[in-house]
Structure 1
Amino acid sequence: MTDPTPRPDAETYADADADAGTGTGTENCPPSARPPRWWRLLGRDRGAAVAAVVLALVFLVALFGRLFIGDRAIRQDLGASLRPPSLDHGFYGLLGTDVLGRSVLARLVEAAGTTLYVAVPAVLCSLVIGSALGMWAGYHGGWRENVAMRVADVILSFPSLLIAVVVLYVFAPSALNIVLILAIARVPVYLRTARAESAELRSRLFVDAARTFGTPSRNIIHRHILPIALPTLLTVATLDFCFVMLTESSLSFLGIGIQPPDVSWGLMVAQGRQYLQTAWWIAVLPGIAIVLTTVSATVLAAWVRLATDPGQRWRLTLPKKRRGARAAVPPEMIA
């Protein structure tokens, strides 16, 4: 019996890749037929686009906001204590003041820089160290893989928040110590992910071919394994950024994280919790900033995972209502 369903050939896959924006086989295409750029794909997904805008604003405020607020984040005015959000007291009184009369808006801007100063270096350090060790162990296997996995298991056996609490209680709480502790605690996450990716890719034909031609192992890992594993690692890093930021906020809330006169979003929540009934904006507004940043990073991570996967990128070219279970295969492959 003849199967009525047409089998996708090479041209079908090429067309699907072209529509999905993989860039494969499009070098000779006319400009009108080139695949959409990543910003066009992002514009088709409103949720991911809004998340990207929110994260971009947070990073811009963290990088350049301090140039505009000056010392307003620490400037005290007891005569303006606990003023509610209003435009009657100028731009910096838009979000109200705290118990010492300091502008909540200026402190939110200052805290954004401190929070990202802790979260971004911690994620980058754990990403680089964990990914390098994981790909090295997964590619070579044997005792290297066993040792790396046992070290990761030992670190993961202790909750990262508990490790941070104990270490910061023994040593002086500071931004540098928080970065080091969170970076070490999150290394196993990337190590295990990179090890799994590398162990699966080392048996591929292109890796065997490179090994046959005498390519050194470090070059194989750098040129052949890293580009394929990198999208997954970046997605994990985006999600881990949320965890690290929430952990720093929790430590600051407990009083063993960022210490005054520095300020972070978690510390602002801790300082404002006793005024929730009389001055809710002191604790609620930094809490909203934490929620918006983490949710935006999570939504954007899901979009990046699709956008960097050539096998799934075509989903982003479909209308929003068709990205469900019915879109299990590319439209070009449906009879």
Structure 2
Amino acid sequence: MAVAACAVLLLVGLCAVLGPPLLGDLAREQHLRAVKLRPFSTDEGWEFVLGSDSLGRSVLARLVVAAGTTLSVAVPAVLLSLVVGSVWGMWAGFHRGWRESVSMRIADVILSFPSLLLAVVVLYVFDPSVANLVAVLATARIPVYLRTARAESAELRGRLFADAARTFGTGNWAIVRRHVAPIVLPTLLTVAAVDFCFVMLTESSLSFLGIGIQPPDVSWGLMVAQGRAELQNAWWTAVFPGLAIILTTVAMTVLAGWARMAGDPAQRWRLTVPRKTRKGERP
């Protein structure tokens, strides 16, 4: 399952990187003689293998180009929130005191607003551009990494290796960088993999509501929004981008579960035991 998930994500990544320069023009071209072509037919050319929309645009080309737009929002938002939240959380959890209290109250204030509602309000006031989407989604997800990193580093602060490092005169930031961060990082990466699904679904929801990606750009959520009015006679214009969202999120969730098991010494043995013996307890 993990290998299949990696294959799906690799395909999506290749589409995101190679799609816009190769199929960008094809995704915008209108062929009024090929309006609402049904999928799985190559009579009008290979580019219409997944059908066309009401303007004669290739659904396949738009799917490939939309992958780049969707990932250009989800990946930077997750990376930005991961870096800021992790560093902030390890700093607060290792030093404790007022730093931890202030950081947790800020996280509570941000988490008190639903992420989707906060994004709707901010994007309604400001221009719904890609930069604003990344900024608001990253800000809304920082507390997730902040709370996780704070809890992990606060527990590691009292370990013997941290006390030994302080005894030899090692500074706090050096202890965090050399000893705490390598232990906390696998957990944070697993959280980031799961959070990637949430951010991508949020971007798709915002585009579906009309305050996310704006035409002439295209994203999977925007394709679903544009195709919902044609479900009766052109269902493929909304179903295929919806399937792309589902497959990508499921693949990332499966990969996150595998990574969590592989990174946990207490669970790693499950990956090496033959399938027939996994039904019982650990031998």
Q: Which TM-score applies when normalising by structure 2?
A: 0.98
Deviation at 1:66, TM superposition (A): 2.4
1:220 aligns with: 175
1:166 is aligned to: 121
How much does 1:89 deviate? 1.6
- TM-superposition CA deviations, 1:247-276 (whole Å, max 9, x none): 000000000000000000000000000000
User: In 1, Cα distance between the equivalents of 2:99 and 2:77?
Assistant: 25
How far apart in 2 are the matches of 1:91 and 1:227? 48
User: Which is higher, the Rg of structure 1 or of structure 2?
Assistant: 1
| Preserved CA contact (<8 Å) 2:81 2:141 | yes
Inter-partner Cα distance in structure 2 for 1:185 and 1:169: 16
In structure 1, the residue matched to 2:28 is 74
Taking the aligned partners of 2:21 and 2:122, their CA distance within structure 1 comes to: 34
Instruction: Give the secondary-structure state (helix, strand or coil) at the position aligned to 2:27.
Output: coil
Distance in 2 (alpha carbons) for counterparts of 1:77 and 1:87: 15
Q: Is the 8 A contact 2:207 2:214 kept in 1?
A: yes
Aligned to 1:89: 44
Between the aligned partners of 1:297 and 1:317, the Cα distance in structure 2 is 22
RMSD: 0.9
Task: Tell me if 1:116 matches 2:51.
Answer: no
Q: Give unmatched runs, 5+ long, in structure 1.
A: 1-46
Letter in 2 for 1:116: L
The percentage of aligned residue pairs carrying the same residue is 70
Give the equivalent residue in structure 2 for 1:255: 210
What amino acid is aligned across from residue 135 of structure 1 in structure 2? M
How many Å apart are 1:72 and its aligned residue? 0.3
Identify the residue that residue 137 of structure 2 maps to in structure 1: 182
Query: Distance in 2 between the 1:321 and 1:268 partners?
Result: 44
Q: How do residues 28-47 of structure 1 correspond to structure 2 at under 5 angstroms? A: 47=1
1:168 to partner: Cα distance: 0.5
Q: How big is the shift at 1:310?
A: 2.5
Partner of 2:90: 135
Instruction: Tell me, in whole angstroms, the C-alpha distance in 2 between the residues paired with 1:145 and 1:274.
Output: 50
How far the C-alpha of 1:170 sits from its partner, in A, is: 0.5
Quick check: 2:120–2:206 contact (8 Å CA) kept in 1? yes
- Aligned equivalents of 1:223 and 1:323: distance in 2? 36
CA positional deviation for 1:70: 4.0
Amino acid across the alignment from 1:49: V
Q: Which amino acid is the alignment partner of residue 65 of structure 1?
A: G
Shift of 1:73: 0.6
Residue matched to 1:52 = 6
Q: Secondary structure at the match of 1:65?
A: helix
TM-score, length-scaled by structure 1 = 0.83
> Matches of 1:106 and 1:232 in 2, distance apart?
37
Structure 2, gaps ≥5 residues long: none
Mapped partners of 1:277, 1:228: distance in 2: 53
Q: Does 1:291 align with 2:243?
A: no
Equivalent positions of 1:267-282 (< 5 A) are 267-282=222-237
Question: CA offset at residue 314 of structure 1?
Answer: 1.6
Amino acid at match of 2:59: V
